[in-house]
Amino acid sequence: MEKQLYDTIIRGGTVVHSQGTGPADIGILDGKIRAVADRIDVRAESEIDATGLLVLPGGVDTHCHIEQVSGAGLLNADTFETATRSAAMGGTTTVVSFAAQHPGHKMATVVKDYAALARKGALIDHAFHMIVSDTSNGNLEHDIPALIAEGHRSIKIFTTYDKVRQDDKSILDILSVAKDHGALVCFHAENDGLIRHMTEKLIAEGKTAARYHAASHPRAAEIEAIDRMCRFAEFTGARIMIFHVSTREGVAIIRDAIARGVPVQAETCPHYLFMTSDILNQPRAERFLCSPPQRTADDQAALWDGLSDETITLVTSDHAPYRMDETGKFANGREAPFNRIANGMPGLETRMPLMFDAMVTKGRMSLEHFVFVTATAPARAFGLRHKGQIAPGFDADLALWDKDLSYTYKANDLSDNVGYNPFEGTTVTGLPVTVLSRGKCVIRRRVLEGTPGQGRWLPME
Ligand code: DUC
Ligand code: ZN
Ligand code: ZN
C-alpha cells in the first residue's frame, strides 16, 4: 500500500508561519509539520477544518513552577497533569518548569526525580531549569556539567530567598561553569539585604498585612540585582536571562547592557503588564502576592516599550500555584504575616489569551509579535529547536484560535488545581479552541482530549 503523505491535514486557516501570515493548509506526518502550502490536494485520515480560525504555533511557557517543593518546603498545588492540561487549555504546548535542588541534595538525583514526575503526568512536552542551591559535594564539578551535556542547558539562580540564595562568589562560579559547558543562567534578581531590611522594619512597625508585601520588595532591590547580574554576565561572558522584569529602571539597565554587547535576555509576565500594586488593597490579597511584586502604571508602560523594542523578548507565566487554604497560602495560618505567605499565582492558562487580547485584539502590537513573545522567542532562548514556529521539520504543536470569541474570567474557572483565577472579572477576546501536541489533539473545541504521560522531555540544544 502507498505510504500516506500526511496523517493529519489542517485546512483553510489563516496561518502565522515562518514566512509570513496568510491562508494555508498544513500537512502533518508522525507528529511533525511536513508541508505548509496554499492548498494540499491529497487527503489524510484526519482532517481538521480551520476555516475562520487563526493557526498559530502552540505557546511555549518557559517559566512555570510545577509539582515543585519550595525552599520553605511547601508543595505546589499542581501536578504535571493538572498544570499541563491547564496550559493546553490556554493554547500552550511546551512548558519549562524547575528541578529544584535543596541544599544537601545531588543535582543529578533532583533532575531524575522531577523528570519521572513529568514523564508520568505531562500532557505536553516539557524541559527543566536546574535550580542550583548547593554547589558543593561534586555538584558544580560533576553533576551540573554532566546534566548540561545531557540537554539540561538552563540553570536558575536566586539572589534572594533563604536556603536557595547564592552569594556573588558562588554566582560567578556557576556562571563560569555555564559558559564553559554551554548553559544559559536565569536569575531571580532581587537584592536580598534590601528585602530583609524592609521586611524586618515593616514587621517591627506592626505592618504585617498581605498588602505590605509590595513595600517589603522595594524597586531598588530589583534594580540593584539586575544591574549586578548584567555586570557579572559582562565580566564572565556567560549568557544570562533576567526573569520577571517588573520595573522601568530594570528595563533600562537591560537595554543599556544589550547595547554594550552583554549576552542578556529578559522576560516579563502578565501580572506585571496587567496588574499594579493597587491590587494588594483588594480583599484576599494573598491571591496576588508574588515576587517581585506588581508595580505602577508607569512601570507597565516601560515594560510594553521594552517588548516593543525587543529589550524584553519573552512573556512567560511564572505559574506558581498555591491554593487559598492551609495547603498553600495559609500554611502558616490565616493570620500569617506577609513574609510567611507563599508567593505566586496561577498563570499557565491565562497567559496566552491575556496577551492575545492586549496585543492583537486591542491592536497594541502585531499578531506576529504576539507569536514571537509567547512561542518563538522562548523556544529559541532555551534551544527548543523544534518548537515555537510553523514550518516543515517543526513539531506539529499548533493552536487554532477564534479571534472573535470573548470570555470573562470567573472566580474559579481554570483547569489547574489552584482554586482561583487571579484575573477574575477580566474579559478577553480571542481564545484557543483546538490545540495539538505533536499532531494529536490535546484540546478539541475547548474539550480536553489529551492523556497524562503523552508529553515528552525535550533536550535543550
Ligand atoms: N516569584 C517567583 O520568583 N517564583 C514563584 C512565584 C513568585 O512570585
Ligand atoms: Zn523568581
Ligand atoms: Zn518563578
Sequence ranges of the domains in the chain? 6-56+389-448, 58-369
Q: How far is the CA of 34 from the centre of ligand 2 (A)?
A: 38
Using the predicted structure, report yes or no on whether residue 346 has a pLDDT greater than 50. Answer: yes
- Digit-coded pLDDT (tens) for 219-254: 999 999 999 999 999 999 999 999 999 999 999 999
Q: How far apart are CA 89 and CA 376, in angstroms?
A: 19
| For residues 358-387, average pLDDT | 98
Can you give the pLDDT at residue 3?
Answer: 66
| For residues 365-376, average pLDDT | 97
Can you give the pLDDT at residue 20?
Answer: 87
Ligand nearest to the CA of 318: 3
Ligand nearest to the CA of 76: 1
Can you give the pLDDT at residue 2?
Answer: 53
Strand 264-268, strand 314-315: pairing:
parallel
Q: How far apart are CA 356 and CA 377, in angstroms?
A: 16
Q: How far is the CA of 84 from the centre of ligand 1 (A)?
A: 18
Q: How far is the CA of 164 from the centre of ligand 2 (A)?
A: 12
Can you give the pLDDT at residue 311?
Answer: 98
Q: State if residue 291 touches ligand 1 by the CB under 6 angstroms criterion.
A: yes
Which grid cell sits at 190?
532581587
Edge-to-edge strands of the sheet including 59-61?
59-61, 92-100, 125-131, 154-158, 184-188, 240-242, 264-268, 314-315
236 CB neighbour count, 10 Å cutoff: 20
| For residues 89-97, average pLDDT | 99
Q: State if residue 188 touches ligand 1 by the CB under 6 angstroms criterion.
A: yes
- The percent of residues in the chain predicted with pLDDT above 70, rounded, is 99
Q: How far is the CA of 331 from the centre of ligand 3 (A)?
A: 19
Q: Which of ligand 1's atoms lies nearest the C-alpha of 243? A: 3
174 CB neighbour count, 10 Å cutoff: 23
Question: Exposed/middle/buried for 37, CB within 10 Å: 0-12, 13-18, 19+?
Answer: exposed
Which grid cell sits at 301?
508602560
- Digit-coded pLDDT (tens) for 416-459: 999 999 999 999 999 999 999 999 999 999 999 999 999 999 99
pLDDT band for position 1 (50/70/90)? very low
Q: Which of ligand 1's atoms lies nearest the C-alpha of 244? A: 3
| For residues 372-379, average pLDDT | 98
Q: How far apart are CA 262 and CA 278, in angstroms?
A: 34
Q: How far apart are CA 400 and CA 238, in angstroms?
A: 38
Model-level pTM? 0.98
Q: How far apart are CA 395 and CA 21, in angstroms?
A: 19
Q: State if residue 28 touches ligand 1 by the CB under 6 angstroms criterion.
A: no
- Digit-coded pLDDT (tens) for 113-161: 999 999 999 999 999 999 999 999 999 999 999 999 999 999 999 999 9
Q: Where are the alpha helices (DSSP H) in 205-312?
A: 213-216, 219-236, 248-259, 270-274, 297-308
| For residues 88-98, average pLDDT | 98
- Digit-coded pLDDT (tens) for 160-198: 998 899 999 999 999 999 999 999 999 999 999 999 999
Amino acid letter, residue 455:
G
Q: What is the CATH number of domain 6-56+389-448?
A: 2.30.40.10
Fold topology of 58-369: TIM Barrel (3.20.20)
Closest CA to 25 of 49, 4, 58, 61: 49
